């Protein structure tokens, strides 16, 4: 991705911060925060902040990703419905712009650059440091999975649960996602082993009966003080949900084990030589009003017919009011929208089949008028990029002209072509 771009030795930048990679501190106005090098991995941010009894509130499913990398996209996971994406939880950044200027930007200063860089796909500057909001860290997690055969009931329950979303609201869930179970791979996939082995036969027969089972996944954090109430709170929250009776599964794990849940699957796949394989992924956001059409046209038609899926398929909703539309990340217009992620792994000889499925899904959405926005977008023409950003495209161009007029940053995203540079 750095071809004709720039590579920065991030360790040298750390000298500006007395060589400290992750520094936890407190400010009377914003509370606890961590100053973190853009090159740092989220797993290291987690361990360093936990030493102070603190942690960030918004995560990605996988923690061996850099802070600069996820903030250049958005950083989403099951916490986003309540705390917003990771880009909504940044106070300040040091950024090296395409003009070679070292600029500190925040809500108070250089706001245009601050907004541009968050979700900006590396187009406006290199994030050298980010100031991440911290809150007291919980100790443990009640983690629940519920199975549904009816997609409409599944999404209705998801939407009801994410409507309780105040940051300080004690009765709200801390995490909500959803995952498809199909006859296309083991029931316990690399994201986490969850269901007891003894229950695999009856889950498998449910899948055979319905072709697709939708698994709602929620979590509630707790510590020594809240331990006595957590079961009651979960019971109240899940009351009235219409999952298939008898298909309720619960786990009780440490906070670190929960946040780092993908790692054990990764290590297993690595040991089998199955991690470093092609990943023809497709991720996008879909307005809530079109999610049922998406289910019937994509999950129940294209995906079942092609029958090639291997790797998790995620589907869960988020609240638009937890995002800041002035940032570069592009999201649908509706108050609630879903993220769908086809996180495929393929062999080195059959990745084209997955690419073809991805193309068919995108074509179906376009023909059916389903307004999807790709997350981790992969567009190749200027027209597609302009459609991706929609009304924000003009601002995106203006910011590029302002902060990286020579177009030297992250050319691998293929957003700007040389012709456009001449027009600058
Ligand atoms: C296994 C796996 C699981 C994932 N799970 C999630 C998930 O749950 N949620 C989610 O939101 N995303 C997820 N992602 C996607 C992830 O957010 C992006 O791939 C992100 O770019 C990863 O960061 P990185 O450190 O690997 O970036 P890199 O691959 O190093 O960089 C990717 C691009 O990001 C930009 N960039 C990177 N660092 C900086 C910086 N310091 N300053 C400016 N721009 C920069 C550049 O354009 C660069 O080309 C996942 C990715 C993987 C591989």
* 130 C-beta closer than 6 A to ligand 1: no
* 127 C-beta closer than 6 A to ligand 1: yes
Backbone phi and psi for residue 172, each to the nearest 5 degrees, phi listed first: -80, 155
* 177 C-beta closer than 6 A to ligand 1: no
In terms of phi and psi (left: phi > 0; alpha: psi -120 to 50; beta: otherwise), the region of 211 is left
Angle at 58 between CA 317 and CA 16, to 5 degrees: 145
* 72 C-beta closer than 6 A to ligand 1: yes
CB atoms within 10 A of CB 311: 19
Taking 70 as the pLDDT cut, the residues of the chain under it are 1-2, 184-192, 418, 421-423
Atom of ligand 1 nearest to the CA of 41: 25
* 60 C-beta closer than 6 A to ligand 1: yes
Query: Residue 19's pLDDT is what?
Result: 84
Closest CA to 163 of 151, 180, 176: 176
* 318 C-beta closer than 6 A to ligand 1: no
Residue owning the nearest CA to atom 12 of ligand 1? 75
The residue assigned the tokens 């998406």 is 294
Q: How far is the CA of 61 from the centre of ligand 1 (A)?
A: 12
Q: What is the torsional sign of CA 216, 192, 76, 254?
A: positive
Q: How far is the CA of 74 from the centre of ligand 1 (A)?
A: 9
Look up residue 71 and give its DSSP letter: H
* 411 C-beta closer than 6 A to ligand 1: no
Atom of ligand 1 nearest to the CA of 409: 47
Q: Is residue 328 within 8 Å of 115, Cβ to Cβ?
A: yes
Q: How far is the CA of 44 from the centre of ligand 1 (A)?
A: 15
Instruction: Determine the straight-line distance between the first and last CA of the chain, rounded to whole angstroms.
Output: 23
Q: How far is the CA of 125 from the centre of ligand 1 (A)?
A: 15
Each residue of 85-139: pLDDT tens digit?
Answer: 999 999 999 999 999 999 999 999 999 999 999 999 999 999 999 999 999 999 9
Q: How far is the CA of 375 from the centre of ligand 1 (A)?
A: 11
Q: How far is the CA of 65 from the centre of ligand 1 (A)?
A: 6
Helix/strand/coil for 134: coil
Atom of ligand 1 nearest to the CA of 123: 47
Residue owning the nearest CA to atom 37 of ligand 1? 69
CB atoms within 10 A of CB 326: 13
Instruction: Show the tokens assigned to 302.
Output: 């294209």
Query: DSSP states of 158-223 as a string?
Result: HHHHHT---TT-TTS-SEEEEEEEESSS-SS-TT---S-GGGHHHHHHHHHHHSEEEEEEEEEEE-
Q: How far is the CA of 331 from the centre of ligand 1 (A)?
A: 18
Instruction: Show the tokens assigned to 411.
Output: 């050319």
Look up residue 149 and give its DSSP letter: S
* 66 C-beta closer than 6 A to ligand 1: yes
* 98 C-beta closer than 6 A to ligand 1: no
Q: How far is the CA of 68 from the centre of ligand 1 (A)?
A: 7
Enumerate residues 6+ apart whose C-beta is below 8 A from 334.
287, 288, 289, 320
> If you compute the radius of gyration of the chain from its CA atoms, what whole number of angstroms results?
22
Atom of ligand 1 nearest to the CA of 76: 11
Query: Residue 8's pLDDT is what?
Result: 85
The span from the CA of 421 to the CA of 401, in Å, is: 9
Q: How far is the CA of 105 from the centre of ligand 1 (A)?
A: 21
The span from the CA of 276 to the CA of 158, in Å, is: 33
Set out the domains of the chain in order of their start, with CATH numbers: 12-136 (3.30.465.10), 140-375 (3.40.462.10), 383-423 (no CATH)
* 121 C-beta closer than 6 A to ligand 1: yes
């Amino acid at each position: 991705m750095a071809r004709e771009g720039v590579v920065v030795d991030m360790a040298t930048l750390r000298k500006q911060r007395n060589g400290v990679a992750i520094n936890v501190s407190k400010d009377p106005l914003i509370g606890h925060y961590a100053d973190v090098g853009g090159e740092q991995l989220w797993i290291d941010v987690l361990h360093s902040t936990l030493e102070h009894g603190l942690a960030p509130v918004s995560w990605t499913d996988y923690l061996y990703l850099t802070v600069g990398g996820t903030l250049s996209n958005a950083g989403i996971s099951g916490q986003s419905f309540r705390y917003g994406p990771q880009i909504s939880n940044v106070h300040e950044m040091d950024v090296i712009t395409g003009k070679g200027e070292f600029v500190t930007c925040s809500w108070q200063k250089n706001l245009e650059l601050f907004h541009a860089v968050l979700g900006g796909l590396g187009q406006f500057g290199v994030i050298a440091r980010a100031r991440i909001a911290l809150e007291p860290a919980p100790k443990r997690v009640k983690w629940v999975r519920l199975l549904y055969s009816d997609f409409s009931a599944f999404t209705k329950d998801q939407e009801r649960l994410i409507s309780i979303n105040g940051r300080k609201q004690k009765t709200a869930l801390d995490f909500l996602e959803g995952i498809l179970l199909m006859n296309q791979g083991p029931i316990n996939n690399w994201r986490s082993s969850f269901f007891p082995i003894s229950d695999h036969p009856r889950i498998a027969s449910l899948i055979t009966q319905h072709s697709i089972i939708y698994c709602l996944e929620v979590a509630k954090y707790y510590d020594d003080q809240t331990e006595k109430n957590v079961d009651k709170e979960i019971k109240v929250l899940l009351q009235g949900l219409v999952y298939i009776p008898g298909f309720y599964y619960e786990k009780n794990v440490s906070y670190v084990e929960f946040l780092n849940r993908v790692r054990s699957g990764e290590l297993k796949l690595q040991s089998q030589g199955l991690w470093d394989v092609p990943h023809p992924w497709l991720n996008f956001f879909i307005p809530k009003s079109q999610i049922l059409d998406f289910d019937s046209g994509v999950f129940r038609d294209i995906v079942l017919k092609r029958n090639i899926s291997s790797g998790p398929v995620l589907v869960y909703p988020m609240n638009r009011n937890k995002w800041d539309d002035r940032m570069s990340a592009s999201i649908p217009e509706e108050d609630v929208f879903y993220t769908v992620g086809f996180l495929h792994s393929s062999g080195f000889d059959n990745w084209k089949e997955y690419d073809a499925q991805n193309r068919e899904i995108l074509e179906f959405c376009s023909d059916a008028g389903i307004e999807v926005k790709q997350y981790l977008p992969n567009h190749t023409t200027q027209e597609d990029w302009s459609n991706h950003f929609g009304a924000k495209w003009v601002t995106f161009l203006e910011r590029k002209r302002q902060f990286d007029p020579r177009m030297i940053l992250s050319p691998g995203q293929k957003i700007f072509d040389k012709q456009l540079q001449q027009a600058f």
